Amino acid sequence: MPIRSMTYVNISPIARLLAAAFKETAITGQFCHPYREQYPEGMYLLFLRHLREEYMKMSPENVLLVSYAIINKKETVTGFAHWYRKRPIPLTRSWPNYLAIKAVEAYNYLESFISPNRAIDPARFAALRGIDPFISHHWTGSRADVWHLELLGVAPKFAGRGIGGELIARGFEKAGSEGLGCSVSAAVGTENFYRKNGFGVEAGNVKDEGGEANPFVRFGLVGGTVMFSK
């Protein structure tokens, strides 16, 4: 299917796509959103606000891709991938861009009082966002500068058509043109998929470091695998 950069008008349909794709996943769905059946809009709101903030970063090193199909002469979003350049020291943002991001964050914060995400468990979600100190050691040495696949989702009704692989291939093309490798933190059960699509090196599990301080250990979760292309 054709693939292009995400536009602002795509944010809402992609948020719907991701909410459906991740609804029954062990971490984002079942663990972080235990009340998603009672409040079905919750996961949509999570992704909606996240995508707004990522879109406003407007950097060539923050790539938001959509795949789409033309159905009845109308474009339908079928998949989404978020790739970003993971550097040892992130690039400094311009002040206009920094202020734009902060404005969107403030808007999301205020909107959350009007339309709260009632499906989420805030404590669980906040704890998992603190995983970076326990896995950052994997991105060192020759792997300190890579293109990282942060998020990948395919609309359930388009699953099994190779869309995810095509979105991964675009990231590999970008990385290859710059002489860099790629990385991903693969959820449990997705490892074979990522191996088949170029992530042939397994660096370790997200539960390997930190003991009880690691949120995956503390909550008794099955951790995923950190994988690299080389």
Pick the CATH number of 3-228 from 3.40.630.30, 3.30.70.120, 3.40.50.720, 3.40.50.10470: 3.40.630.30
* Rounded-to-integer distance, Cα 44 and Cα 123, Å: 19
Q: 3-state class of 141 per DSSP? A: helix
Give 142-184 as a DSSP string: GGSSEEEEEEEEE-GGGTTSSHHHHHHHHHHHHHHHTT-EEEE
pLDDT at 53: 97
pLDDT at 90: 87
* Contact in structure between 52 and 11 (CB atoms under 8 Å): yes
* Rounded-to-integer distance, Cα 104 and Cα 108, Å: 6
**Alpha helices (H) in the chain, listed in sequence order:** 11-21, 42-57, 95-114, 122-128, 132-135, 163-177, 191-196, 215-218
pLDDT at 206: 96
Looking at the DSSP assignment, which residues form a beta bridge with residue 73?
none
* Contact in structure between 115 and 44 (CB atoms under 8 Å): no
pLDDT in tens, the chain (230 residues): 899 999 999 999 999 999 999 999 999 999 999 999 999 999 999 999 999 999 999 899 999 999 999 999 999 999 999 999 999 998 999 999 999 999 999 999 999 999 999 999 999 999 999 999 999 999 999 999 999 999 999 999 999 999 999 999 999 999 999 999 999 999 999 999 999 999 999 999 999 999 999 999 999 999 899 999 99
| Cα-trace Rg, the chain | 18
User: Of how many residues is the chain composed?
Assistant: 230
* Contact in structure between 58 and 191 (CB atoms under 8 Å): no
